[in-house]
Amino acid sequence: MKQKKRKKGYTQVYTGNGKGKTTAAIGLSIRAAGAGLKVFIAQFIKMGDYSEIKALKRFSDLITVEQFGLGRFTNGKPTPEDIKAAQQGLERVKSVLASNEYNIIVLEEANVAVNLGLIVVQDLLGLIIQKPYDTELVITGRGASPMVIEKADLVTEMKPVKHYFQKGVPARLGIEK
């Protein structure tokens, strides 16, 4: 029998200050599920029932979401608990990558986790290096490290030409959260 050729998976980064990083990753996940691919989404920073989490539960046979943030980053300095949660996320992603059970792994807001000092950039780079040949890795969050950008195959920088946030419009249910 002819052996099926393993298709190469790439590393993608969605960064920048404009809107669309998280929604691009969710959109990709839905598209992938439509093709029968399995997706693992690790959410750093966030914790809570965001609308996208609720929506993705409808695809629970193909899309798994796990949260590794304590969801309270109002005044900057992370607590040891915040760091511990992010580190647990890192370990979980390592074992998920090693299992080779998923076609796509999304590291949601991982760039922000690096910038806040919750994980070190070397660990994030390690995941890119560790990923199986046919796994697609998607890293989101503003302020991607130049080292991550260097290692990635696709980098999209969302540029805020205009954003109503600047006019004081907070995150709206179903639109931004």
Which residues lie below 8 Å from residue 104, measured CB to CB, with a gap of 6+?
Answer: 9, 28, 29, 32, 37, 38, 39, 40, 135, 136, 137, 138
Closest CA to 115 of 91, 131, 139: 139
Among 21, 41, 86, 106, binds ligand ATP (CB under 6 A): 21
By beta-carbon proximity to Mg ion, the closer residue of 129 and 171 is: 171
CB of 20 to ligand ATP, least distance (A): 5
Q: Segment 115-144, which members bind ligand ATP (CB under 6 A)?
A: 142
Closer of 51 and 99 to ligand ATP (Cβ): 51
Residue 84 touches ligand ATP, criterion: CB under 6 A: no
Q: Is 131 in the site for Mg ion (CB under 5 A)?
A: no
Binding flag, residue 17, ligand ATP (CB under 6 A): yes
Question: What, of ligand ATP, Mg ion, none, does residue 10 touch, CB below 5 to 8 Å by kind?
Answer: none
Please, which residue, 117 or 160, has the CB nearer to ligand ATP? Answer: 160
Per rule CB under 5 A, is residue 21 in the interface with Mg ion? yes
Q: Which of 11, 12, 13, 22 binds ligand ATP (CB under 6 A)?
A: 22
Tell me the window of 14-22, 64-72, 126-134, 151-159 that interacts with Mg ion (CB under 5 A). Answer: 14-22
Which residues in 156-175 contact Mg ion (CB under 5 A)?
Answer: none
